[in-house]
Amino acid sequence: MVQSFSSHLDPLTNIKTIKEYEMENEQLKNENFELKYQLSYYRNSGGADMQLVNREDFESLKRENVQLREQINAMVVENNKRVKTDGEKDRELLDHKNRERDYIARENEYRNVISSYKNMEADFMEKEKKYSKMISDLSATENNLCDQVKESNNLIEQLKIQNKANEEKNSYLEKKLKDTMCVLEALREDNNDNITNITKMNEQKKFYDNIVNEQAERIKNLEENNNFLGNEVKNTGTASKLREEENKRLINENKQLKSLLEDERRRTNDNLKEIEESKRRSEQSNRMQVENINEKAQQLVLDNRRLSSNLSEFESKLEHTRNEYEKILRKYNTLKNEHGAVINKHREEQSSIDGYRREITKLNNSIFNQRMFLNKMNEFLDHVRLQIKNIGGKVAKFQLNDRNKTVLGKLNIRCNVGINNLLKKLFKVIHDLRHKNSTLENEVSDISSFVKENRANNRTIKLIEEFSKEFEDARNGLNECRAYLERKGKENKLLKNELRKLRKCHRCVL
């Protein structure tokens, strides 16, 4: 059984059932009937003062009844206001439910967006795997390029070996030239054909000079290419320091080759000078020796051409390697930029998803708080309705019916003066009746003594005894009425205390 708020603070004891209240009501009706009879009897035998007092008491009871009705009407108005506020709160609850529905729909949309972002993230991860695979392929191509550079270094070593062989051949040719110079010195003046050969050799000298210049330019280009490759290798990082050192070594070797070629040029110039001197010293020459010299010179030219072709091939390979490296570097930079853009986009989307999640959690917390508040308000309103219902039932117990109002009207007691004033008036009436009863008892005792002394007849004694008996019954009824009114006064006091506490609690809530 749900207890009221006031019963927790000031619990009522000896609560009666409806049947007991009906029995008590029936008993009170009988008492009222007896009191009416006695009052009518006393009114017929009593004076006008008692009627005046009863009329004033009836008016006070009437006023108290009006006040109680006004209080009940105020409580009804307040209850209607509470019902109205309950309706408004129900509408607010409906609005909150609609908002909650909208929030749930938005949450579902956010979840769909998050799932799409997750799918995009999976795509980005796959792309990242592809990019990592491409980077590994690029590293493999870089390793291949390193192998090609090693091959080119081996080729340079082979060219160095060939240059050494050419130097040996040149030294051998120098010796042969010295031998021929001795022969040419003896035959120069007598051999006009040698003059033509010398002119041819001059032309060959120019040809050799051109070849040497071309070789020098190619070596210079190789140095520039090696410098460019060295700079590119420096940009790739610490992993290519070995290649830079290798390129430096190649540059040094190319410088050595250049110096060797310069020495060879100087030697050829010296040889040509010696040949010119031999022109003056020799006029006759041995055609067979000249042919041998020409063959050896042609062989040297072929060797130089082969060396130049090898150098051009090496230069083309270096150029191809440089182009491949530049392509790989450009591709690597583009892939790196794309990867950075993908990572930035993923971070932005992740931050937006985190913002959506925070907003959803805030909305869920606000909805949960509103639900808790509405649940508490509904519990409080249910409690207040129950208290109002209990108070209405208790107020109904203290309301006067029409029969009691007529009785109080006959006693000249107003019904709207309040229960305390009503009890006060009734106590005053009872006090006056007790006072009159005491006077009547004195008169009865005087009459009985007079009758005994004067030996009155039996009829008079019988009337006196009946009057005494009726008077005793009336006095008992008045005592019972007084006890009943005292009990009702206590119940009224408890009800007022409970009503005051309930109003105080209602003000605190508002």
Contact in structure between 56 and 428 (CB atoms under 8 Å): no
User: Is 188 strand, coil or helix?
Assistant: strand
The Cα 270–Cα 251 span in angstroms is: 28
Q: In this predicted structure, what is the pLDDT of residue 275? A: 65
Residues whose CB is less than 8 angstroms from the CB of residue 403 and which lie 6 or more positions away in sequence, other chains included: 29, 32
Q: In this predicted structure, what is the pLDDT of residue 7? A: 39
The Cα 344–Cα 349 span in angstroms is: 9
**Residue 3, pLDDT above cutoff 60:** no
Confidence of residue 57 (pLDDT cuts 50, 70, 90): low
The Cα 104–Cα 165 span in angstroms is: 90
Q: What pLDDT, in 10s, does the model give residues 371-396?
A: 787 777 777 767 766 776 776 666 66
Contact in structure between 170 and 300 (CB atoms under 8 Å): yes
| Residues of the chain above pLDDT 90, percent | 0
Q: In this predicted structure, what is the pLDDT of residue 13? A: 46
Contact in structure between 403 and 30 (CB atoms under 8 Å): no
Residues whose CB is less than 8 angstroms from the CB of residue 481 and which lie 6 or more positions away in sequence, other chains included: 31, 35, 426, 430
Confidence of residue 324 (pLDDT cuts 50, 70, 90): confident
Identify which of 506, 317, 364, 493 has the alpha carbon closest to the alpha carbon of residue 418: 493
Tokens of 455: 């030996």
The Cα 193–Cα 187 span in angstroms is: 10
Q: In this predicted structure, what is the pLDDT of residue 47? A: 45
Instruction: Using alpha carbons only, give the angle 360, 365, 367 rounded to the nearest 5 degrees.
Output: 95
Q: In this predicted structure, what is the pLDDT of residue 125? A: 73
The Cα 17–Cα 190 span in angstroms is: 170
Q: How far is CA 248 from CA 229, 258, 326, 357, 472, in A?
A: 10, 15, 20, 59, 145
User: Is 87 strand, coil or helix?
Assistant: helix
User: Is 283 strand, coil or helix?
Assistant: strand
Contact in structure between 345 and 252 (CB atoms under 8 Å): no
Confidence of residue 190 (pLDDT cuts 50, 70, 90): low
Check residue 416 and report its DSSP letter: B
Q: Would you call 328 exposed, middle or buried from its count of C-beta atoms within 10 A (0-12, 13-18, 19+)?
A: middle
Sign of CA dihedral 69, 74, 75, 81: positive
Confidence of residue 48 (pLDDT cuts 50, 70, 90): very low
Tokens of 87: 């309706």
b/e 467-498 (16+ beta carbons within 10 angstroms → b): ebeebeebbebbeebbeebeebbeebeebeeb
Tokens of 74: 């105020």
Tokens of 500: 């005051």
Q: In this predicted structure, what is the pLDDT of residue 9? A: 38
Q: In this predicted structure, what is the pLDDT of residue 36? A: 58
The Cα 50–Cα 56 span in angstroms is: 10
Q: What pLDDT, in 10s, does the model give residues 237-254?
A: 554 566 667 667 766 766
Concatenated DSSP letters for 322-342?
Answer: HHHHHHHHHHHHHHHHHHHHH
Sign of CA dihedral 61, 65, 66, 70: positive
Identify which of 255, 152, 269 has the alpha carbon closest to the alpha carbon of residue 208: 269
Q: What pLDDT, in 10s, does the model give residues 97-140?
A: 777 777 677 767 767 777 776 777 677 677 667 766 776 776 77
Concatenated DSSP letters for 278-323?
Answer: HHHH-B---HHHHHHHHHHHHHHHHHHHHHHHHHHHHHHHHHHHHH
